Amino acid sequence: MQPTSAYLDCSGRDDVLSGGVRMIPINTPKGVYRVWTKRFGNCPTMRMLLLHGGPGATHEYLEACDSFLPGAGIEYYYYDQLGSHYSDQPDEPDLWNIERFVDEVEQVRQALGLDRSNFFLYGQSWGGILALEYALAHQEHLKGLIISNMMASIPAYNEYAQNVLMPAMDQAALAEIKSYEAAGDFTNPRYMELLMEQHYVHHVLRMPLEEWPDPVQRGFNHINPSIYVPMQGPSELGASGALLHWDRTADLGRISVPTLVIGAQHDTMDPRHLEWMAGAVQRGRYLDCPEGSHLAMYDDQQVYFRGLIDFVHDVDAGRFSWSDE
C-alpha cells in the first residue's frame, strides 16, 4: 500500500485533522485502511454524504456544491472512496467490487453518525450505482436518496451508447476511435484527442476544454486506473469491465425512501431511462437538466442545484410525496 500523504498510515486511528478533514478507518478483507472525508456546515436534520464517480475518481469535481449547499443550510461531506486520491490506495484488486464498497459506505455512515433522521445519500455516475446498491442493502438508515446521471442498468447504458450516441458522432472519427480500442491503444494521445473532440465536450461537460473548471481538471488528473479499468473498462464509449452485467431495474420498486433521480438531455446516460427510474421507485421525483450533460452540476448548474436543494428541503419539511412533481 502506498499512503497518499505523509500523515496517512494503517494504524486504524480515526484522525480528525484541520479544516473539517477526518480520516476514517475501514475494515476490509485485506486489512484496515483509511478514507478521507471533509465536512462542511452544521445542520442536524440535513446531512448529505457525496459519492463520487469513477470508479476510482475523486470528490474534487463535486466541489461545485460549495457555491450552493452552504447557502441552503445543508451539511455535506466530501469523501474519497478507498483507492481514490486522498484516501489510502492499497494494491489489492480483490477489494474493487460493489459489495465491499457498499460495506465501506456503511462504515463511513456509522463513523459520521448519520442516521434516518438526517442522512441523505447522493451518488453521481458510478457513485449512483453505489448509492443505489447501498439503498437496497441499508435503506433503513436513509432519509433521502439522490441518484445523479446514472442509469439502473449497464446493459441499457451500453445499448444507448451503441444505438443513440455513436450514430450521432462523426463516423470517420468513430472508426478511428474504435481502431485504437481494438488495438488496446488507450493511452495514445490521438485516442484521447478524438474522445475529447467527439464525445467529452458534447456529453460529459458541454464547455470548451480550455474552460473546464479547475475541480473537474483535478478530478480527471487524479483518476486511479487500477480501479477504473477493471470495473468500468478502458473504453469511454460504454462499459466493459466487471460492471458489464450490472442491472438493478427489477429491484427499484423495493426502494421506499424519497428518491430524486437527476438526468440531463445531453448526458451519456439516457434521460428517458432516468425519468423512468423516478417512477419505478416507490417515492420518486425526476429532475431534468435540459442544457446539461454528464456533469450537469456545471453545464446546467442553476437547474441542477435548485432541484437538488428543493428535494432535500421538501423531504426535511415532510412536503415530499411521489406525486408532487
Residues annotated as part of the active site: 125, 267, 294
Helix (H) or strand (E) holding 203: none
Residue 111: name the closest of 7, 16, 30 by CA.
16
User: Which residues on adjacent β-strands are paired with residue 34?
Assistant: 25
Cα radius of gyration rounded to whole Å, the chain: 19
Q: ∠ CA(97), CA(98), CA(100), 5° rounding?
A: 75
DSSP states along 8-62: --SS---EE-GGGEEEEEEEETTEEEEEEEEEE---SS-EEEEEPSTTT--SGGG
User: Over the range 152-187, which residues count as b (16 or more CB within 10 Å of their CB) and which as e?
Assistant: bbbebbbebbeeebbeebeeeebeebeebbeeeebe
Rounded Cα gap, residues 115 and 47, in angstroms = 9
In terms of phi and psi (left: phi > 0; alpha: psi -120 to 50; beta: otherwise), the region of 92 is beta
- Per the CB < 8 A criterion, the answer to whether 150 and 52 are in contact is no
Cell numbers 448529505: residue: 48
